[in-house]
A and B are shown apart, each in its own frame.
Chain A
Amino acid sequence: MPYSELCAADNALLGTGRGNCGKILGYDKRYYLAKPGFTFASPDAAKIEANWDAAIEAKNIFPFPEVVELEPQNAEATFYETPSGKTFKTKSEKRKTQFKFIENIANHAAMKSYDDQAWEVFFLTEKGYLRGNSHSDGKVGGLPLSSFYVNAQETSTIDSNPEQTPTVMEFNDVNDWDKDYFVVKITESWLLNIEGIYELNCVPTLPATAGATFVFTVDIVTAGDNVGVDGLLLADTILLDAAGVDVTIDSLTPDGTVAGRYVVTATDTMTEGTFGIRGVVTKVDVYYQSQPVAVTS
Chain B
Amino acid sequence: MKIGTKEVQFRKGFKPKSLSEFTKVYGAITGASDKELKIAYNKLNGNTKTASGKSKESKSEKPS
Residues of A within 8 A of B (CB): 212-213, 215, 233-234, 248-254, 256, 263, 265, 267
**A217 to B: closest C-beta gap in Å:** 9
Main secondary structure of the interface of B (DSSP, over half): mixed
Chain B's closest residue to A255 (CB) is B6
Chain A's closest residue to B3 (CB) is A253
With a CB–CB cut-off of 8 A, which chain B residues contact A215? 25, 28-29
- Some 16 contacts from A to B, beta carbons below 8 A apart, are A213-B25, A215-B25, A234-B11, A249-B11, A250-B10, A250-B11, A251-B8, A251-B11, A251-B26, A252-B8, A252-B9, A253-B7, A253-B9, A254-B6, A256-B7, A267-B17
Given contacts A250-B10, A256-B7, A263-B29, 17 further A-B contacts (CB under 8 A): A212-B18, A213-B21, A234-B9, A234-B10, A250-B14, A251-B8, A251-B9, A251-B26, A252-B8, A252-B9, A253-B6, A253-B7, A253-B8, A253-B9, A253-B30, A254-B6, A256-B6
Contact count A vs B, C-beta below 8 Å:
39
Residues B14-64 near A (CB distance < 8 A): 14, 17-18, 21, 25-26, 28-30
Residues of B within 8 A of A (CB): 5-11, 14, 17-18, 21, 25-26, 28-30
**A134 to B: closest C-beta gap in Å:** 46
A254-B8 Cα distance, complex, nearest whole Å: 7
- Max chain B C-beta neighbours (<10 A), residue from A248, A250, A252: A250
A234-B12 Cα distance, complex, nearest whole Å: 10
A251-B28 Cα distance, complex, nearest whole Å: 14
With a CB–CB cut-off of 8 A, which chain A residues contact B8? 251-253
With a CB–CB cut-off of 8 A, which chain A residues contact B17? 267
Task: Please state if B21 and A212 are interface contacts (CB–CB under 8 Å).
Answer: yes
